[in-house]
Amino acid sequence: MTQAQDERNIHGFVVNKILKDFVDMDMLVATQFISKAYEVRVFSNTLDESLSDWYENKFKPNVFLLDEDEYTEASIQALKIQFLIAGTDFGTSRQRDMGQKWSDTIRGYLGELGLKQLLHNRFNIDIGLGHEPGALEEYLDLDIRKVRKGNEFEYRNPLINVSIKTTKSNGVWLDIPGDQFSHSDLYVLALIGVDVNHLFSFFKHLSVFKDKVLKKGVDNHCINQLEADEIYDKVPSFRKIYGYIAGLVSSDKNINDYTYEGIMGRTNFTITNWSGKYEEEYLEVVKRDKGARSVKFAGIGTFTQSNRHIFGLAGLKNSDKDWLNLLVDKI
């Protein structure tokens, strides 16, 4: 099947199935959810039977929808800890300003709220998230701070440590940097349908631009009202946010093991799934094993730093049995 046929099949499935079930989901977000899963071979082809199996069993049961109130909660909770967060990305010297840090943290908290919603709706479990003031290290290792199951009257401490990681709708990797993998019992990956301008869209929704920034510009004769209106219209509007829980990974395994799968081209090998420890020199082993000129990761190319654990979408656990065995029965 050609790439053009795959794209037509995915587009048709999005229009005829996903957007009929979730009528206000953004077309691009829906397409990214499904096309990225195919890129890393969560399902083997784009025929209707294969797409439907993924959709009904792995995607649809794990979808969540967040509104303005939940975005507000995420933005306030994220703002609380901005001065505790380092200005550099892990393992790099790349600086992030406060706006970028805030935006990135909001995205992470939206994933946590998505899991909270899903556990309540699917399993009648209520959780409290780790957003109270405290040392930053606490936020990294214990995202679920309290739990109450349907037959329990009061919240209690969870019996396992759960870490919730969030990536955008075009993400395909659960990336756990440094030695964090040994700090939690279970890792959860949420994919969230927000673009890079989500914070600006929220500001627009709150009339920050129209009633404050742009009005000030008009009052100070920096721009006229027509120019202000044109700028305002270019800022994307806020909309409800769809996401889904892509799966779970337990840390009760040899943390130094790794397995991988991929696609061999004429001379280059693309890794579509990786499960376990990652060091840069491991790619040399893959290159020799496959007789490849170069090796890259699907969807991202390369990781900026060694010393991490990586899990692709295809390697995550997400069946009903997995949810029960790894999280619901243990927490």
Instruction: Note the pLDDT tens digit of each residue in 62-113.
Output: 999 999 999 999 999 998 888 776 555 545 555 668 888 899 999 999 999 9
Helix (H) or strand (E) holding 245, with range, is strand 241-250
Q: Find the mean pLDDT for residues 225-253.
A: 93
Q: Residue 282: pLDDT above 70? A: yes
Contact between 323 and 123 under an 8 Å Cβ cutoff? The reply is yes
Same-domain status, 132 and 186: yes
User: 3-state DSSP call for residue 28?
Assistant: helix
* Segments forming the whole domain that contains residue 93: 64-195+240-328
CB atoms within 10 A of CB 321: 9
What is the number of structural domains in the chain? Answer: 3
Same-domain status, 300 and 320: yes
Same-domain status, 92 and 10: no
Q: Residue 132: pLDDT above 80? A: no
Q: Residue 136: pLDDT above 70? A: no
pLDDT of residue 61: 96
Chain centroid to CA 68: how far?
19
**What is the distance between the alpha carbons of residues 75 and 18, in angstroms, rounded to a whole number?**
28
User: 3-state DSSP call for residue 295?
Assistant: strand
Average pLDDT, the chain: 91
**What is the distance between the alpha carbons of residues 312 and 181, in angstroms, rounded to a whole number?**
15
**What is the distance between the alpha carbons of residues 122 and 242, in angstroms, rounded to a whole number?**
16
Q: Residue 262: pLDDT above 90? A: yes
Contact between 306 and 280 under an 8 Å Cβ cutoff? The reply is yes
Give the confidence band of 131 by pLDDT, cuts at 50, 70, 90.
Answer: low
Give the confidence band of 5 by pLDDT, cuts at 50, 70, 90.
Answer: very high
pLDDT of residue 94: 56
- Largest distance between two CA atoms of the chain: 67
Pairing verdict, β 294-297 and 268-278:
parallel
Q: Residue 322: pLDDT above 90? A: yes
Same-domain status, 37 and 139: no
> Which tens digit of pLDDT belongs to each residue from 171-181?
999 999 988 89
Same-domain status, 208 and 188: no
Comparing CA positions, the residue from 102, 112, 179 lying closest to residue 143 is 112
Q: Find the mean pLDDT for residues 226-246.
A: 95
Same-domain status, 8 and 92: no
